[in-house]
Amino acid sequence: MATFLVILHGLLAVALLGSITHQAIAVVWPAQSKAGFVNAYRSVSSRAYVNANIILFLTVAALGSVIYPIYRVWVRTYLENARLYPAVGSFEIKEQLIALGLGLLPLYWLVWRRPEPASTSARTAVTLMLCFIVWFSFLVGHILNNIRGFFGL
Amino acid sequence: MNNNKIEKVIPVFSAAFALIYIVSVELNWALLTYHPKIHQWGWLVEPARDGPPMYWYGWLVTSVLGASAVSVVAWPFLKNRPTQYWLGWSVPLLVTFSVFYLFREWFLR
């Protein structure tokens, strides 16, 4: 069951990573033309991604919180015994960033719900912060999930 | 209280959530403790029973309740002002930087 949940957590995280990256690129580097792959990537409607990103973030965080106890009891103990302290620290940071991301979601919903000039900078900032949180968390989770292979343990 | 006015406290909620969360982590203000090895929950901060205790869920609960309380208190001061969008992202951004600083010890061992 835990393995299934880890895989599901990872797959949904990939979907969230793609979705929020797409939105973030369209926010900071918009394009009017859809000619070519890069322009087409940049010219999407950013607003269309909001609800999907919120639902995916909540779902991935909820799944992560379900499998977190397994990490805390078995994996972290193993990492500490192997003296892989940066790996433990990376997960500690990931844990805090996910919590901060959860606190940002209401603001993210608000600034995209009714885009207005007064919220432009907030829209860009919140989207980029969530994008950073998702990328950092994804990379840390991916590396820790494969840490024995990465470090030849 | 219409929806437009309720929305004015959302940036305050996000800012308060981030601040209360990082203080909760640093001072361990967890409203709940989970003991994963024996699948037991406890109120407030409890020492280990068997295996390591987990406070993360408790920090989240503290932050949600605390930020909600701050939002309710802030509401009368905000209802006739423009929405303070900047507050909702600048405080969490500073807290994000502080997270990297506070957990630097793991990378210096």
Residue A69 distance to chain B (closest CA, Å) = 5
Domain layout of chain B by residue ranges? 3-108
Please name the residue of chain A whose CA is at the shortest distance from the CA of residue B66: A103
Range of the domain at A101: 2-150
CB A99 within 8 A of CB B19: no
Q: How far apart are alpha carbons A42 and B85 in whole angstroms?
A: 25
Whether A69 sits inside 8 A of B59 (CB atoms) is: no
Whether A76 sits inside 8 A of B52 (CB atoms) is: yes
Using alpha carbons, select from B27, B46, B28 the residue that is nearest to residue B36: B46
- Tally of structural domains, chain A: 1
Asked if the C-beta of B41 comes within 8 angstroms of chain A's C-beta atoms, the answer is: no
> What is the value of ipTM here, to two decimals?
0.94
3-state secondary structure (DSSP) of residue B39: coil
pLDDT tens for residues B55-85? 999 999 999 999 999 999 999 999 888 889 9
CB atoms within 10 A of CB A65: 17
pLDDT of residue B3: 52
Residue A122 distance to chain B (closest CA, Å) = 6
Q: Which residue has the tokens 């000619």?
A: A35
The pair of structure tokens assigned to A111 is 């600034």
Amino acid in position A73: V
Amino acid in position A152: G
Task: Return mean pLDDT, chain B.
Answer: 93
Asked if the C-beta of A48 comes within 8 angstroms of chain B's C-beta atoms, the answer is: no
Q: How far apart are alpha carbons B81 and B84 in whole angstroms?
A: 8
Percent of chain A with pLDDT over 70: 99
Chain length of chain A: 153
Residue A105 distance to chain B (closest CA, Å) = 8
Which candidate from A73, A95, A133 shows the least CB-CB separation from B56?
A: A95
The pair of structure tokens assigned to A80 is 């500490």
Considering the entire predicted model, what is its pTM? Answer: 0.94
Question: Which residues are bridge partners to B108 per DSSP?
Answer: none
* DSSP H or E run through B42: strand B40-43
CB B51 within 8 A of CB B35: yes
3-state secondary structure (DSSP) of residue A30: coil
Q: Per residue of chain A (153 residues), what is the pLDDT tens digit?
A: 889 999 999 999 999 999 999 999 999 998 888 888 888 888 888 889 999 999 999 999 999 999 999 999 999 999 999 999 999 999 999 999 999 999 999 999 999 998 788 889 999 999 999 999 999 999 999 999 888 777 766
Q: How far apart are alpha carbons B76 and A3 in whole angstroms?
A: 49
pLDDT of residue A153: 66
Using alpha carbons, select from B53, B28, B38, B104 the residue that is nearest to residue A72: B53
The pair of structure tokens assigned to B55 is 């406070």
Asked if the C-beta of A62 comes within 8 angstroms of chain B's C-beta atoms, the answer is: no
